[in-house]
């Protein structure tokens, strides 16, 4: 488990020193802020896991710091524990209603402070774990597990987004639809698992031939879609041709056998009436490439 970082924001040097001592003895990493503005600055630079917050400080007071933290999407999940001499029930209620995780009044008991900081940092750890899991699930939901490329669901989303954008800002948008040639034969000859490895190897070519703004994914089966924003038809044909020739030039090694693979492709230029219309146009090109003998790119 990683060490939690606690930011102590207090204008009193003595309080900072005492609290730092106690927290460091418990194994926390401690950073200090001398006033409200300093606290915000440090939260932005090096977001802590818990903020221990004084109320009365020069410049921004603790309530204002809390408001600023809660208004910042990057910082609003950091638990704030007030540690303050402001000890009326109104203060406590205002702090908690303002979004503080906890409220401790000075003078404080060291053991209680440690227990409450422990609870706050535990909450933060659970939140972080949840966030990581969500990010991982989100990633999985748009990934094709065999190739590691985007899946069709994500391609459709990207296509809609890019199409909308290209209409609005009037720039060219191309798509290339690429389909491995006679892939059924590869499966029949070498086995389905060898076929899977060929698909994986082809994904590698897509990866290495594309630029940063391009989006490539598995459209289905042995069919791949590449979205090329800000690219005219000649540009798209050139990209598809590079992928085609790289694929034909490098047989895939599977269990000591070298499997020659070729790919055919269709390219189309948008913005068309709809994202589906561009893909349809690319499919027409693909059909033409297939019927002209495969291992070629057409429009």
The distance of closest approach from Cβ of residue 61 to Mg ion in the complex, given in angstroms and rounded to an integer, is 9
Answer yes or no: 222 catalytic.
yes
The distance of closest approach from Cβ of residue 299 to ligand GH3 in the complex, given in angstroms and rounded to an integer, is 18
Q: Binder to ligand GH3 among 196, 232, 241, 283 (CB under 6 A)?
A: 196
Q: With binding defined as CB under 5 A, does residue 179 bind Mg ion?
A: yes
Tokens (6 digits) for 201: 């190897």
Q: What is the Cα–Cα distance from 289 to 283, expressed in whole angstroms?
A: 10
* Residue the block writes with tokens 């802020």: 33
Interface residues for ligand GH3 in 265-294 (CB under 6 A)? 290, 294
The distance of closest approach from Cβ of residue 220 to ligand GH3 in the complex, given in angstroms and rounded to an integer, is 8
Binding mask 135-164 for ligand GH3 (x = CB under 6 A): -----------x------------------
> Which among 45, 222, 223, 250 is annotated as catalytic?
222
Q: With binding defined as CB under 5 A, does residue 77 bind Mg ion?
A: no
The distance of closest approach from Cβ of residue 184 to ligand GH3 in the complex, given in angstroms and rounded to an integer, is 3
Q: Looking at beta carbons only, is 98 or 251 nearer to ligand GH3?
A: 251
Q: Binder to Mg ion among 29, 37, 47, 56 (CB under 5 A)?
A: 56
Q: Binder to Mg ion among 32, 35, 38, 54 (CB under 5 A)?
A: 54
**Residue 120 CA, distance from chain mean position:** 26
Assess contact for 269 and 232: CB atoms under 8 A: yes
User: Which of Mg ion, ligand GH3, none does residue 169 bind to, with CB < 5 to 8 Å depending on kind?
Assistant: none
Interface residues for ligand GH3 in 62-121 (CB under 6 A)? none
**Could you count the other beta carbons within 10 Å of the beta carbon of residue 97?**
8
Q: With binding defined as CB under 6 A, does residue 195 bind ligand GH3?
A: yes
Q: Binder to ligand GH3 among 182, 210, 248, 284 (CB under 6 A)?
A: 182
Which sequence positions are flagged as catalytic?
222
């Amino acid at each position: 488990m990683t060490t939690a970082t606690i930011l102590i924001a207090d204008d009193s040097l003595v309080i900072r020193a005492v609290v730092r001592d106690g927290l460091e003895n418990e194994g926390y990493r401690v950073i200090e802020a001398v006033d409200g503005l300093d606290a915000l600055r440090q939260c932005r630079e090096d977001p802590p896991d818990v903020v221990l917050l004084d109320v009365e400080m020069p410049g921004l007071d603790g309530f204002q710091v809390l408001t600023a933290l809660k208004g910042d999407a990057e910082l609003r999940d950091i638990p704030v524990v007030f540690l303050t001499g402001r000890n009326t029930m109104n203060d406590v209620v205002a702090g908690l209603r303002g979004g503080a995780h906890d409220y401790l009044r000075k003078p404080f008991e060291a053991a209680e402070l440690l227990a409450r900081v422990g609870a706050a940092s535990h909450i933060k750890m659970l939140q972080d774990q949840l966030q990581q899991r969500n990010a991982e699930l989100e990633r999985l939901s748009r990934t094709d597990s065999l190739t590691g490329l985007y899946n069709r669901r994500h391609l459709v989303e990207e296509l809609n987004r890019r199409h909308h954008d290209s209409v609005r800002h009037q720039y060219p948008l191309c798509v290339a639809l690429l389909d491995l040639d006679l892939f059924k034969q590869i499966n029949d000859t070498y086995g389905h698992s060898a076929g899977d490895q060929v698909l994986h190897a082809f994904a590698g070519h897509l990866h290495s031939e594309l630029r940063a703004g391009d989006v490539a994914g598995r459209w289905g089966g042995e069919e791949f879609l590449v979205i090329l924003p800000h690219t005219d038809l000649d540009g798209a044909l050139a990209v598809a041709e590079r992928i085609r020739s790289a694929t034909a030039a490098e047989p895939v090694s599977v269990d000591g056998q070298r499997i020659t693979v070729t790919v055919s492709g269709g390219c189309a230029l948008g913005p068309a009436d709809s994202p589906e219309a561009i893909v349809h146009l690319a499919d027409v090109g693909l059909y033409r490439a297939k019927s002209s003998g495969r291992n070629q790119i057409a429009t």
